[in-house]
Structure 1
Amino acid sequence: MASKRQSAPPARPLRIVVVQAADAALRAQALNVGLQEAGYEIVASLPADMHLPEQIALLQPDMIIIDAESDARDVLEHIVIATRDERRPIVMFTEDDATSSMEAAMAAGVSAYIVAGLQAERIKPVLNVALARFKQEQKLLAELDDTRHKLAERKVIDRAKGLLMTRHGMTEDAAYQKLRTMAMNKNLKLAEIAQRILDVEDLLG
């Protein structure tokens, strides 16, 4: 008898921490209901205080939602500290439509800044867009970091080639082949052997 194909396990709901400013207490119930109806797991509702970074690190949420009716600069300061070492998508619901407030929020790492949008039916599409945007930003940052790393390695290799060419009268191709051979013999990356050569040169003067 042919075995039935096992279906993939259902994806777990996003784990969300809600950070609420003091002025948003009356909106808390509406936000929580909207999140639960959309199928999200609220792991905690936290005040924006000095303990927030420690609590975020302990809870390890998938997303952070800020609910601040008006000026949320104090909240943002705590969020910046809480997500400094490990970025997470952040969605902010507020009634503050000042351009300066929006710019401050985006600079702090907020993925979506939603003004007057705290309706239950809007929560899920807003969070989906914020999550997609966050993933795209992280991908771009990773690609940029990879490019910078490769450029840095290229500079180290070029410097080591130049040193070999000067010290031993080699051509550029011969210097490059020398580096490759040394790297293979020592089971190191090309940039690693190049850096070792430069380190030795610095020591010996």
Structure 2
Amino acid sequence: MSGLRILLIDEDPERAALLDETLRAQGYELVARLPPDELSAKRVNEIGPDIILVDMGSPSRDTIESMRQINEEQPRPVVMFVDQSDDSMVAEAVQAGVSAYIIDGLNVKRVKPILDVAIARFREFQALRDELKKTKATLAERKLIERAKGLLMRERGLNESEAYAALRRLAMDRQQRLADVAEALLAFADVLKNK
């Protein structure tokens, strides 16, 4: 996992310098160091890190909200080291997409294993998120196809297999996906209905 590009968010310049030195010694590339108030999705996009490491005394709601926005726009592993916290802040951080939330501050000896675990958890979560997105899209496409079949059955007096065959034939003739043809057919039917 060495060679990763890390964005360090730290409010303490001395602590950040020590962490910078530790990260470089372990083979990581520190691409930028920002104070928490400069953290934003736009800055993360400009910097393009592989992972975000946050080291602060106590997380602020603004920092957590920035993490949430980053996770929505350009997800990446986030490791947060804090000196003190409470249960509600931990829950908010996890909901915002923080991959690892470590209380009692940063111990330089633990950095590498924590980063490795956070990256692995992030990848696993992203795979689940991608699978869910794919499943939702497939279900939405099936619903469109079913609605289009129902329309053809009602308007043309076809049975279910005839309606499906008609949709498939139209999709092949137009060299389009079945779901796209179904969507166009339903949109056209809506236009005719509203005239």
Instruction: Give the equivalent residue in structure 2 for 1:186.
Output: 174
**1:196 Cα deviation from its structure 2 partner:** 1.1
User: Aligned partners of 2:186 and 2:18: how far apart in 1?
Assistant: 62
Alignment check: 8 A CA contact 2:68 2:95 kept: no
**1:31 Cα deviation from its structure 2 partner:** 1.8
What do you get for the CA RMSD once the two structures are aligned?
1.7
- Once the two structures are overlaid, the 10-residue window that deviates more, 77-86 or 193-202, is 77-86
Match of 2:97 among 80, 85, 109: 109
Instruction: Give the equivalent residue in structure 2 for 1:47.
Output: 35
Match of 2:4 among 9, 14, 36: 14
1:110-143 per-residue CA deviation (whole Å, 9 max, x = no partner) reads: 0000112522221011000000000111100000
Instruction: Give the equivalent residue in structure 2 for 1:94.
Output: 82
User: Aligned partners of 1:157 and 1:12: how far apart in 2?
Assistant: 48
Secondary structure, counterpart of 2:72 in structure 1 = coil
Identity of aligned residues (%): 41
Match of 2:46 among 58, 82, 102: 58
Instruction: Give the equivalent residue in structure 2 for 1:134.
Output: 122
- Structure 1 residues without counterparts, runs of 5 or longer: 1-10
User: Aligned partners of 2:43 and 2:152: how far apart in 1?
Assistant: 53
Question: With structure 1 as the length reference, what TM-score do the two structures score?
Answer: 0.88
Structure 1's 81 and 88: CA in aligned 2 closer, same or farther, altered over 3 A? same
Q: How many pairs are equivalent? A: 193
Residues 1:122 and 2:110 are matched in the alignment: yes
**1:107 Cα deviation from its structure 2 partner:** 1.4
- Structure 2 residues without counterparts, runs of 5 or longer: none
Flag as ranges the 4+ runs of structure 1 deviating above 6 A: none
- More helix per residue: 2
User: Aligned partners of 1:28 and 1:182: how far apart in 2?
Assistant: 62
Structure 1's 142 and 51: CA in aligned 2 closer, same or farther, altered over 3 A? closer
